[in-house]
Amino acid sequence: MTHPSPADRIIELRRLIRYHNDRYYVDDAPEIDDAEYDALFRELRDLESAHPESFDPDSPTRKVGGTPSAGFRKVPHAVPMTSLENAFSADDLRDFLSGIRNFILELRDPGAPIALVAEPKIDGLSCSLRYEAGRLVAGTTRGNGAEGEDVTANVRAIADIPHRLKGDGWPAVLDVRGEVYMSDADFLALNERQEAEGAKTFANPRNAAAGSLRQLDPAVTSRRSLHFFAYAWGESSEPFAQTQWEARAKLAGWGFVLNEPAEQLTVSGSDDSGLLRYYDNLRDRRASLGFSIDGIVMKIDRLDWQVRLGFVSRAPRWAIAWKFPPEQAATVISRIVVQIGRTGKATPVAHLVPVNVGGVLVSRATLHNEDEIRRKDIREGDTVVIQRAGDVIPQVAGVVLERRPAGSVPFRFPSECPECGSRLVREPGEAGTYCTGGLVCAAQARERLRHFVSRGALDIEGMGDKNIELFYDKGLVRTPADIFTLELRDGREAPPLATWTGWGEISAHKLFEAIRRASVVPLDRFILALGIRQVGEATARLLARRYLSLVRWRAAMEAAADPASEAHHELLSIEGIGESVADDLVAFFREPHNLALLDRLTLPSGGEPPLLSVGDFQPPAAAGAVAGKTVVFTGTLETMSRSEAKARAEAMGANVAGSVSGKTDYVVVGADAGSKEKKARELGLTVLSEAGWLALIDRGRGRDNDG
Ligand code: IVH
């Protein structure tokens, strides 16, 4: 099967971004730099919006941060901790403002003033501090936005964080949010100490702060002076301010340190000079603040508007981060190495003489693909300008031709897989080059195994990258099925695991135990583990929810190979699954070796029970009167813009459609509704006025679905 190249690139970008998210958020040790990360992120977002058929609710563009690390207790956030949308230019900022005007009906007139609060964007790690009756009861990192790590003992060791709120007027329950960070001076001192002690040094103050806060021993945290700025809040048992500016004053009164310099600014008409001045000023003072900032944050001042604007999946509509431009530095490419991924994609990576770019040590830059190398004529030995911007990754901005060594030759993309020697091919019209080794390619096999045991999939503790490599190289684990016979075979094909260097009875026992535990797996995680192209966590969940059991799912996927079949039709009818994902599913089930793997894992053989027991999907209880219903808005609404109406409906779990059909549950009609209302009446659908709709969603709010 051939893949259109944008679809491939999208998959690759999602994988790359997830990988680098984990390096950044979980390991506190990014491998690439901010500008490159931002570039990947933007490329993905642009591709996704140009190719809506590639929609994946699991895409990293719709999520925040990394997965919480093991070692700390996981705590759910009462109100999710989201990220912020990024602006990179004054134009992006204007787009943000016009989006606001479009959403809040009262701001349609461009002359209507919008008050904003502008603050520095601190480059640290966000934390939620829970106060009950004015006492600090919990501190939690952002984690994946929905749940974070319990770092209560550690935040208590931070002097800026009050154990008891000062003054009065604080809500009985209040989650204060802000950034834990390390000052530039403390960062340099810490690295000197670490170096003297032969311990690991940190690439930048942000990683140092994260590494210091996420210490299992709070005594270590307390030795590393950390600070905290408060700039937001999550759950609050009662409202305590009407504007962001007022909320800041309250937080200060209760004993928090605020991120300064902040300003309250107003834009009206085309005059946004105040914002631009604030941005320029901060950018110029950046180096002398004493702590790292990577841009400014602008927030709509009125809190009632913040509530109405609400959130898109990964960020609020009422705030935006305007990043400072990329920082650049020159270095030399020592080598260009081609890496093979799980799907066989060959990605060229530049290995660099390490260089400090705006506070981060950079030693790698991905070159994306063959065309990218050719376009920029990047060669081994070249001096290149590396740039990074914003909060994570690096890219090659260009080659310094004057410094090109004599006798340099253009990079020749290898025609053979560096791992297995199979041919590398590039389909006409595609950007990606792929290894044709399939099952014989060790790099692909290892990547697939890694995926199989990874956290969202089988989640086998103790089966990290290093051990996969180890078992693979010893020939003990070549396919996912081998993992589950490892214990049975222990000591037969190789000396017992407990006798290997670095292993013992306990660690071997623990690993086998973890494998046994992982052999009972819910359907959605099993589907994810198979590593089918484009099937991420959310798509796997969609499939599990629709087919409920492994037997039904497998039968349906095999039947869907016939495009005229009912099964094919059903697959495409799942909201969130398009042609391209369906093609990949069908292709997976067409491969005999995939079917053999499924058999081996999930069917009994030779009188033995199956290696894996895949549990049926347990649907969660639905909530809200309009959850899962399809609604169409038509005509002019009075109390809200169309965008606001759509956003509110979606927040209540409804699907908003553009046209009326037999599948529509509600049609909400405003003034001058035309043909859609007529069609709705003809079809006998439920037609509601704006007031009727508002009453319906109000009734549904926070109540369980009773029918
Ligand atoms: S407000 C609901 N204000 O930047 C939005 N965030 O890139 C709450 N950050 O996750 C965030 N300085 O960790 C806000 N003045 C500031 C900030 C700030 C830094 C962090 C925060 C956020 C990330 C997004």
Least confident interval from 44-48, 205-209, 310-314, 548-552: 310-314
**DSSP code string of 2-34:** ---HHHHHHHHHHHHHHHHHIIIIISS--SS-H
Return the higher-pLDDT residue of 124 and 65.
Answer: 124
Mean pLDDT of 564-575: 88
**pLDDT confidence tier of residue 662, bands split at 50, 70 and 90:** confident
**pLDDT confidence tier of residue 707, bands split at 50, 70 and 90:** very low
Does 319 sit in the ligand 1 pocket, CB within 6 Å? yes
Burial class (CB in 10 A: 0-12, 13-18, 19+), 220: middle
**pLDDT confidence tier of residue 2, bands split at 50, 70 and 90:** low
What pLDDT shows up at residue 157? 86
Judge whether 493 and 515 are in contact, CB under 8 Å. no
Rounded to an integer, what distance in angstroms lies between the CA atom of residue 253 and that of residue 165? 9
Picking from 425, 445, 443, 449, the residue whose alpha carbon sits closest to that of residue 435 is: 425
Residue bearing tokens 């002398």: 288
What pLDDT shows up at residue 284? 87
Return the higher-pLDDT residue of 129 and 654.
Answer: 129
What pLDDT shows up at residue 278? 97
Picking from 178, 182, 221, the residue whose alpha carbon sits closest to that of residue 205 is: 182
Rounded to an integer, what distance in angstroms lies between the CA atom of residue 145 and that of residue 82? 6
Q: Count CB atoms within 10 A of the CB of residue 504.
A: 12
Residue 585: both structure tokens together: 């599913």
**pLDDT confidence tier of residue 411, bands split at 50, 70 and 90:** very high
Write out pLDDT tens, residues 351-363. 999 887 766 778 8
Picking from 93, 102, 86, the residue whose alpha carbon sits closest to that of residue 270 is: 93
Picking from 7, 81, 6, 13, the residue whose alpha carbon sits closest to that of residue 41 is: 13
* Cβ partners under 8 Å of residue 254, min gap 6: 162, 165, 166, 167, 170
CA distances, 633 to each of 99, 497, 698 (Å): 19, 63, 17
Burial class (CB in 10 A: 0-12, 13-18, 19+), 125: buried
End-to-end CA distance of the chain: 44
22, pLDDT greater than 90: no
CA of 296 to the centre of ligand 1 (A): 9
Mean pLDDT of 454-475: 89
What pLDDT shows up at residue 38? 76
Return the higher-pLDDT residue of 582 and 389.
Answer: 582
**pLDDT confidence tier of residue 377, bands split at 50, 70 and 90:** very high
Judge whether 419 and 435 are in contact, CB under 8 Å. yes
Judge whether 12 and 347 are in contact, CB under 8 Å. yes
What pLDDT shows up at residue 701? 52
Does 468 sit in the ligand 1 pocket, CB within 6 Å? no
**pLDDT confidence tier of residue 642, bands split at 50, 70 and 90:** confident
**Spacing of C-alpha 146 from chain mean position:** 12
Mean pLDDT of 128-142: 95
**pLDDT confidence tier of residue 389, bands split at 50, 70 and 90:** low
What pLDDT shows up at residue 703? 38
Does 677 sit in the ligand 1 pocket, CB within 6 Å? no
Does 21 sit in the ligand 1 pocket, CB within 6 Å? no
Name the residue of 179, 260, 279 whose CB sits within 8 Å of the most ligand 1 atoms, as the mutation to test its pocket.
Answer: 179
What pLDDT shows up at residue 132? 95
Beta bridge partners of 634: 669
391, pLDDT greater than 50: no
Counting DSSP H helices and E strands in the chain, the numbers are 25, 26
Mean pLDDT of 45-59: 82
Write out pLDDT tens, residues 147-171. 899 999 889 889 899 999 999 999 9
Residue 302: both structure tokens together: 């009125």
Rounded to an integer, what distance in angstroms lies between the CA atom of residue 358 and that of residue 547? 50
Least confident interval from 514-528, 551-565, 654-668: 654-668
CA of 134 to the centre of ligand 1 (A): 24
Mean pLDDT score of the chain = 88
**Most confident option among 91-105, 279-293, 424-438:** 91-105
Does 232 sit in the ligand 1 pocket, CB within 6 Å? yes
Name the residue of 64, 121, 324, 393 whose CB sits within 8 Å of the most ligand 1 atoms, as the mutation to test its pocket.
Answer: 121
331, pLDDT greater than 50: yes
Q: Count CB atoms within 10 A of the CB of residue 304.
A: 12
**DSSP code string of 617-667:** P-PPPPBSTTTT-EEEEESB-SSS-HHHHHHHHHHTTPEEESS--TT--EE
Burial class (CB in 10 A: 0-12, 13-18, 19+), 498: middle
Rounded to an integer, what distance in angstroms lies between the CA atom of residue 121 and that of residue 132? 28
24, pLDDT greater than 80: no
**Most confident option among 36-50, 316-330, 405-419:** 405-419
3-state helix, strand, coil in the chain (%, to 5): 40, 25, 40
For residue 81, give the ligand 1 atom closest to its CA: 2
Does 581 sit in the ligand 1 pocket, CB within 6 Å? no
Q: What angle do CA 681, 687, 690 make, to 5 degrees?
A: 140
What pLDDT shows up at residue 669? 93
Which residues are designated catalytic?
121
404, pLDDT greater than 70: yes
**pLDDT confidence tier of residue 702, bands split at 50, 70 and 90:** very low
Rounded to an integer, what distance in angstroms lies between the CA atom of residue 515 and that of residue 610? 14
64, pLDDT greater than 60: no
**pLDDT confidence tier of residue 699, bands split at 50, 70 and 90:** low
Residue bearing tokens 């693979």: 472
Picking from 125, 131, 129, the residue whose alpha carbon sits closest to that of residue 83 is: 125
Judge whether 444 and 343 are in contact, CB under 8 Å. yes
Mean pLDDT of 594-622: 86
Return the higher-pLDDT residue of 483 and 72.
Answer: 483
Q: What interhelical angle do 537-547 and 550-559 show, nearest 10?
A: 100
User: Quick check: bond before 52 cis, omega within 30?
Assistant: no
Does 119 sit in the ligand 1 pocket, CB within 6 Å? yes
Residue 702 in 3-state DSSP? coil
3-state SS, one letter per residue, for 60-88: HHHCCCCCCCCCCCEEECCCCCCCCCEEC
**Percentage of the chain exceeding pLDDT 70:** 94
**pLDDT confidence tier of residue 135, bands split at 50, 70 and 90:** very high
620, pLDDT greater than 60: no
Judge whether 132 and 173 are in contact, CB under 8 Å. yes
Mean pLDDT of 165-190: 93
70, pLDDT greater than 70: no
**DSSP code string of 376-389:** HT--TT-EEEEEE-
**pLDDT confidence tier of residue 393, bands split at 50, 70 and 90:** low
Rounded to an integer, what distance in angstroms lies between the CA atom of residue 450 and that of residue 452? 5
Mean pLDDT of 83-103: 93
1, pLDDT greater than 50: no
CA of 84 to the centre of ligand 1 (A): 6
**pLDDT confidence tier of residue 41, bands split at 50, 70 and 90:** confident
The residue whose C-alpha atom lies closest to atom 21 belonging to ligand 1 is 126
For residue 82, give the ligand 1 atom closest to its CA: 2
Buried b (16+ CB within 10 A) or exposed e, 625-638: bbeebbbbbbbebe
67, pLDDT greater than 70: no
CA distances, 251 to each of 155, 178, 237 (Å): 17, 11, 15
Does 179 sit in the ligand 1 pocket, CB within 6 Å? yes
CA of 316 to the centre of ligand 1 (A): 10
704, pLDDT greater than 50: no
Does 321 sit in the ligand 1 pocket, CB within 6 Å? yes
**DSSP code string of 197-245:** TTPPPPSSHHHHHHHHHT-SSHHHHHHS--EEEEEEEEEESS---SBHH
CA distances, 624 to each of 24, 75, 137, 653, 700 (Å): 37, 25, 31, 7, 5
What pLDDT shows up at residue 435? 92
AA identity, residue 217 = D
The residue whose C-alpha atom lies closest to atom 12 belonging to ligand 1 is 121
Least confident interval from 57-71, 95-109, 290-304, 488-502: 57-71
**Most confident option among 11-15, 102-106, 322-326:** 102-106
